[in-house]
Amino acid sequence: MKQIESKTAELEPFSAGIALGQMTAYRIVASRCSAAQAATIRDIRDNKLYKAVHCTWDEFCTRYLRMTRITAERIISVLSQLGPEYFDLSNITHISPETFRLIVPHISGGAIRHNGAAVELRPENAEQIARIISAVRKEVLQARENSRLGAKSVMVERRILDNIAELEAFAEGYAPDTARWQILMAMVKRIENALEKIRRSHPPDAPRTPPPDLHHRLS
């Protein structure tokens, strides 16, 4: 800490130097950087304040911020994309930018909201906030998965109906004793076997619906 303070002291009387004197490399690397500190880092880069100590941006990050340029750029990027609210919350409980994106609709007015309850974003509420974040994350991911499966089931159903229509067209006008009919019945049998295999793979307590009678449908 003393070493960092001595380095940042070289930036005075710049306001950026005063702000940087309050941070440590551990807090930044550990994703405990405050919104104000992140804004200071962005201000130093955007306004080229690092030139005041005769450094390039890369050199400034290594010498004064005690981090790589990539880490500094990541902090700036997160601030630009997620705003100061992410840093405020990450100082209360561990949360990744990805998870924050999932739960951000539940954050407003300095509180996180879930099931009609609002918990203020304060350090003393860290455990409760963490539980809500976990619950909301699971709910959002489950809703996304349900939506994905729903869209996929619609697509599969359409394909099945299209295939049935093709089978009906294939069978039209042919008597049961023709070679073409026998080929069709062989295809139908394969489909019925596949449906039966799917039915048997269901858990014992899952509802079971008999496979459609394709022979009857095509007769």
Q: pLDDT for 8-66, tens place per residue?
A: 444 443 444 434 544 444 344 435 678 888 999 999 999 999 998 888 999 999 888 88
**CB contact burial 144-159 (16+ within 10 A = b; e otherwise):** eeeeeeeeeeeeeeee
State phi, psi for 119 to the nearest 5 degrees: -115, 125
Q: pLDDT for 102-157, tens place per residue?
A: 888 888 888 899 888 889 988 999 999 999 999 988 888 888 777 777 777 778 77
In sequence order, the β-bridge partners of residue 46 are none
Domain ranges, ordered by start, for the chain: 1-82, 92-172, 173-219
In sequence order, the β-bridge partners of residue 118 are 113
Is the pTM value of this prediction over 0.75? no
- List, as one string, the DSSP characters of 115-136: TTEEEE--GGGHHHHHHHHHHH
